[in-house]
């Protein structure tokens, strides 16, 4: 039977300042100050989500760590989450524990990936996740604190500590928080979570092991193909070869240009898949692939992902500006695959 007892160790502090400093001293922060996790705050978080403290959220087998609702709630309080955000954090943590996400690889690898968390469905609007201006930037509590909570769980519960079980060589700023919502209100396209099997009325997170965003600028073309040609020209020279996914984040002006040609997300994927290929010779010449260049390598075309459907398309970003971005995935399909999880509210 589920217990209501909070089993975590308790630390007595004299005041707020000492609590914040204690969290630094213990290595519990991401470098920024955290909200001290009091029992009242943690209980409020669990109650809002209808979760018992000892409920298992996921089990990271490689690390022999069971992640409980209590630990997720404590870290969510520390990150600054509102109680109603907890189901989103929980869904993302569940996704991290899915074997096909392969937690240990993207969390530990020198590649320095971060979990990109894309929020879809009604909750994205209710909880005010940003899907527009300054998409990846600061200023939205939901985006900033949900991703931060996930990172704190990775750090404090699963042991993903820089220099130890986090060996990212350069990492990227998304490791603080990497959360966006899809702009379903203005998008002409099928939402990401529906493409991935959810119902339109459901809310969901899609979690992808991801490198940093690469911006694409095209102010000149007024056709879908013209806009996507700029994407493809950049993407065909990737930092790495063989990624499991690419995520295209298409912002307002580009979205409207592409939609005006009646292109669907499937059309976008097919076009990008075909036009972002490069030759094996190019990859060998630029030391992205091993081996000597053979004559046939000059015409052997290699796609950026192994399957068309491994390109994720998300409508998000500001309405003004001819910028969009793409986000390369980490490693390979055998190492990590994006996971979509329905956000469950009021589970108890």
Partner 1 sequence: MAFEILDPTVEPRKQPLTYVARPDSLKGKRIGLVENTKYNSDRLLQKIGAILVSEYGAADAKMWRKHNASVPAHDEIIDEARRGVDVVVAGVGD
Using CB under 8 A as the binding rule, whether residue 252 contacts partner 1 is answered as no
Considering the complex, what minimum distance in angstroms separates the CB of residue 170 from partner 1? 16
Measured from the CB atom, the residue of 15 and 292 that comes closer to partner 1 is 15
Is residue 8 within the footprint of partner 1 (CB under 8 A)?
Answer: yes
Q: What is the DSSP secondary structure assignment for residue 284, as one 8-state letter? A: H
Should residue 74 be labelled a site residue for partner 1 when binding is judged by CB under 8 A? Answer: yes
**Residue 11 binds partner 1, judged by CB under 8 A:** yes
Beta strands across the sheet bearing 214-217: 214-217, 323-328, 246-250, 311-315
CA 118, CA 180: separation in Å to the nearest integer?
A: 5
> Residue 90, interface with partner 1 (CB under 8 A)?
no
- From CA 332, how far away is CA 276, in angstroms rounded? 17
Phi, psi of 22 (to 5 degrees): -60, -40
Where are the alpha helices (H) located in 177-303, listed in sequence order? 192-195, 224-235, 252-260, 265-275, 280-285
Q: Candidates 58-66, 87-95, 134-142, 231-239 — which segment interacts with partner 1 by CB under 8 A? A: 58-66
| Total binding residues toward partner 1, as defined by CB under 8 A | 46
By CB under 8 A, residue 203 contacts partner 1:
no
Residues 145-174, one symbol each (x = binds partner 1 by CB under 8 A, - = not), give -------x---xx-x---------------
Select from 52, 65, 225, 293 the one that contacts partner 1 (CB under 8 A). 65
Coil, strand or helix at 309: helix
Q: Is residue 335 close enough to count as binding partner 1 by CB under 8 A?
A: yes
Find the farthest-apart pair of alpha carbons in the chain and give their distance in angstroms, rounded: 73
Stretch of 107-115, 226-234, 257-265, 268-276 contacting partner 1, by CB under 8 A: 107-115
Which listed range, 66-74, 134-142, 168-176, 217-225, lies at the site for partner 1 (CB under 8 A)? 66-74
Instruction: Assess contact for 130 and 140: CB atoms under 8 A.
Output: yes
> With respect to partner 1, which residue has the nearer C-beta, 139 or 291?
291
- CB crowding 251-278: b at 16 or more within 10 Å, else e: bbbbbebbbeeebebebbbebbbebbbb
Closest CB 231 distance from partner 1, rounded Å: 28
Helix (H, G, I), strand (E, B) or coil at 331: coil
Binding flag, residue 64, partner 1 (CB under 8 A): yes
Q: Examine residue 71 and tell whether it contacts partner 1 (CB under 8 A).
A: yes
The yes or no reply on residue 57 touching partner 1 (CB under 8 A) is no
Would you tell me how many other CB atoms lie within 10 Å of the CB of residue 222?
A: 11
108 lies in the site for partner 1, by CB under 8 A: yes
- Helices 224-235, 265-275: inter-axial angle, 10-degree rounding: 40
Q: Sign (positive/negative) of CA torsion 87, 90, 96, 101?
A: negative
The residue among 120 and 337 lying less far from partner 1, judged by its C-beta, is 337
Comparing CA positions, the residue from 67, 109, 126, 64 lying closest to residue 92 is: 67
Segment (H or E) for 240: none
Q: Closer CB to partner 1, residue 7 or residue 320?
A: 7
Q: Where along the sequence are the contacts to partner 1 (CB under 8 A)?
A: 6, 8-15, 19, 22-23, 26, 28, 36-39, 42, 62-66, 70-71, 74-75, 78, 102, 104-106, 108-110, 152, 156-157, 159, 290, 331-332, 334-336
């Amino acid at each position: 039977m589920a217990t209501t007892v909070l089993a975590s160790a308790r630390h007595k502090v004299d005041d707020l300042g000492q609590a914040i400093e204690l969290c630094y001293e213990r290595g519990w922060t991401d470098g920024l100050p955290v909200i001290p996790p009091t029992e009242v705050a943690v209980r409020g978080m669990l109650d809002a989500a209808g979760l018992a403290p000892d409920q298992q959220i996921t089990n990271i087998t490689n690390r022999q760590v069971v992640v409980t609702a209590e630990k997720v709630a404590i870290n969510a309080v520390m990150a600054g989450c509102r109680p109603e955000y907890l189901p989103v954090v929980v869904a993302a943590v569940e996704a991290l524990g899915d074997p096909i996400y392969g937690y240990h690889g993207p969390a530990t690898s020198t590649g320095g990936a971060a979990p990109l968390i894309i929020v879809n469905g009604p909750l994205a609007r209710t909880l005010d996740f940003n899907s527009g201006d300054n998409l990846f930037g600061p200023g939205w509590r939901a985006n900033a604190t949900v991703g931060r909570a996930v990172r704190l769980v990775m750090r404090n519960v699963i042991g993903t500590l820089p220099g130890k079980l986090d060996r990212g060589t350069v990492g990227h700023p998304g490791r603080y928080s990497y959360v966006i919502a899809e702009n379903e209100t203005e998008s002409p396209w099928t939402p990401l979570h529906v493409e991935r099997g959810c119902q339109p009325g459901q809310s969901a997170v899609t979690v992808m092991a991801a490198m940093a965003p690469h911006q694409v600028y095209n102010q000149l073309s007024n056709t879908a193909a013209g806009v996507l040609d700029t994407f493809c020209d950049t993407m065909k020279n990737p930092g790495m070869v063989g990624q499991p996914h690419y995520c295209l984040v298409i912002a307002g002006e580009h979205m409207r240009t592409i939609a005006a040609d009646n292109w669907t997300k499937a059309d976008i994927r097919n076009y990008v898949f075909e036009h972002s290929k490069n030759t094996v010779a190019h990859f060998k010449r630029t030391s992205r692939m091993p081996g000597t260049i053979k004559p046939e390598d000059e015409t052997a075309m290699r796609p950026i992902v192994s399957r068309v459907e491994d390109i994720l398309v998300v409508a998000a970003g500001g309405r003004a500006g001819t910028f969009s971005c793409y986000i390369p995935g980490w490693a390979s399909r055998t190492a990590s695959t994006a996971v979509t999880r329905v956000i469950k509210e009021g589970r108890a």
